[in-house]
Amino acid sequence: MAQRAASIDESNTFVGENYALLKESGLVRAGVPIELGGLGAEVPELSEMLKSISRACGSTAATF
């Protein structure tokens, strides 16, 4: 993500490739309850996850 961040910002393009990475890693399921097939992360955990993502690519974190 970090390698594409500047290019994404400069070209004002959507972070589709980064979303693919998030899906591939399972993070799109992070905030979904376990009983619904997700990972069951709570708000503090999700917040830390977004902070980490934002350090690599702010645009990805903002849209995610």
- Closest by CA position to 63, among listed 50, 52, 47, 46: 50
Predicted model pTM: 0.80
Whole-number pLDDT of residue 25 = 93
**Contact predicate 18/57, CB 8 Å:** yes
Indicate the residue type of 39: L
Whole-number pLDDT of residue 31 = 94
Whole-number pLDDT of residue 50 = 95
Whole-number pLDDT of residue 56 = 93
pLDDT averages per 10-residue partition of the chain, 64 residues:
90 91 93 96 96 94 90
Helix or strand (DSSP H, E) at 29: none
**Contact predicate 60/53, CB 8 Å:** yes
